[in-house]
Amino acid sequence: MKVRAVSIGLLALCSTAVVAEQAGTSPRLPPGMAPGYLALDAVPDSAALLPPAPAKGSGTEARDKAAAKAALAAHNTPRWTFATSDADLFGPKATGALSCAAGFEISPQTTPKLDKLLRRTIIDFGFSTYRAKQKFNRDRPFEMNKRPICTPDQDAMLRKDGSYPSGHSAIGFGWGLVLAGLVPERATQLVSRGRAFGESRRFCNVHWQSDVEEGRVVAAAVYARLQADAAYQADLAAVRDELAGPRQPPARDCAAEASALASG
């Protein structure tokens, strides 16, 4: 229930933010949700950045359908389990998704400054996808194939939220980029895990392959824009100081994670 509540909070915030942007006002944040770094007018415009969602009958749509069909074979496998875990953006263990890739435990308790920074960027990376989502309003895979999703309690909510591009993919890949800048010696592992975080949405049967891919493009644009934000840079410096101290090893079973993610 908690995952559902906070996911609805993000969707409500992003939808409200689009309306607020058009009206020249500021959106209200749900209780407990940290604001992003970027002002609404500073967020890259995904509707202008991305090509249109794949047209019906196109080769890209055919590729998307083939990838969706292949992902369905992972239902109730370890990859499905990790995809379900990756769906949680706001729970206490959410930022820990990249702990194995980083080589140390990421959490509110062990890395509070890093955890806070990552949670703030959820709004920047997530909101960045919404102009395109609203413009293209693409149906999701489960609406067409009628197969299960890994968060069934979010079914009705997801039907009202455009599939293209994937906000989760933008957030996961964005986190990978942020962390790669902080822990450059683990850049390969971190960007790879950020990519897998987005691919989890395909295994959850809630996003098409092209949704996930274009989410990464949006993430790259937002990450580039964050480099010019003074508040982000100040927090980044504080996180570097935090990471210069002792680091705790990941609490997750990293071997099991690697095995599951190797399947896709």
Residues with catalytic annotation?
Answer: 168, 201, 207, 211
Contact (Cβ atoms closer than 8 angstroms) between residue 124 and residue 43: yes
Check residue 55 and report its DSSP letter: P
Contact (Cβ atoms closer than 8 angstroms) between residue 148 and residue 70: no
Contact (Cβ atoms closer than 8 angstroms) between residue 118 and residue 89: no
Q: Compute the distance between CA of residue 167 and CA of residue 93 in angstroms, rounded to an integer.
A: 19
Q: Compute the distance between CA of residue 138 and CA of residue 54 in angstroms, rounded to an integer.
A: 9
- Helical segments of the chain, H only: 2-23, 46-49, 59-72, 78-86, 99-102, 112-127, 130-136, 141-145, 155-159, 167-182, 187-203, 209-226, 230-243, 254-261
